[in-house]
Structure 1
Amino acid sequence: MATVWWIILLIVALLAGVALGFFIARRYMMNYLKENPPINEQMLRMLMMQMGMKPSQKKINQMLAQMNKMNDK
């Protein structure tokens, strides 16, 4: 009977570890992406120039604001 309790305890501990690991990894990635956004102003300027557009500062600011708004949702 004691063996059954050890097996149940092992399974519960494994499930708790997986769940805790998932939430810790998720929080770490959210903080990392918040501190290091994937696209910054220089990258956006280069992208627009490669597409044949002449980027104005106003247009770049609008696009960055829109991208930040989408990330906050």
Structure 2
Amino acid sequence: MELWLAIVLIVVALLAGVALGFFIARKYMMTYLKKNPPINEQMLRMMMMQMGMKPSQKKINQMMSAMNKQQGK
């Protein structure tokens, strides 16, 4: 009789740990993305200008598509 109770408690604790871990990881990622947003075209343009390059829209589109391809892998 006590064995099944122990098994049920272990399963419940495992499920609670998984759920709690999911929500903690989700909250962490939301705050991380808020502090460090992914690169967009405007950021890419600013980075190229800081490096001394004059960015054309074609070059920015090429770099954005290359970055999106890389993230897709």
Q: Same fold (TM over 0.5)?
A: yes
Question: Once the two structures are superposed, what CA deviation does each residue of 1:41-70 show, in whole Å capped at 9, x if it has no partner?
Answer: 001000111111111111100110011111
Tell me the TM-score normalized by structure 1: 0.65
C-alpha separation in 2, matches of 1:44 and 1:12: 48
State the 1:21 CA deviation. 5.0
Q: What is aligned with 1:51?
A: 51
> Matched residue of 1:54: which SS?
coil
Amino acid at match of 2:12: A
Amino acid at match of 1:19: V
Q: What is aligned with 1:13?
A: 12
- The aligned length equals 64
Q: Please, which runs of 5 or more residues in structure 2 have no aligned partner?
A: none
CA 1:22–1:48: 2 relative to 1, 3 Å: same
Could you list the structure 1 runs, at least 4 aligned residues long, displaced by more than 6 angstroms after superposition: none
Amino acid at match of 1:16: L
CA 1:22–1:63: 2 relative to 1, 3 Å: farther
Q: Please, which runs of 5 or more residues in structure 1 have no aligned partner?
A: none
Tell me the TM-score normalized by structure 2: 0.65
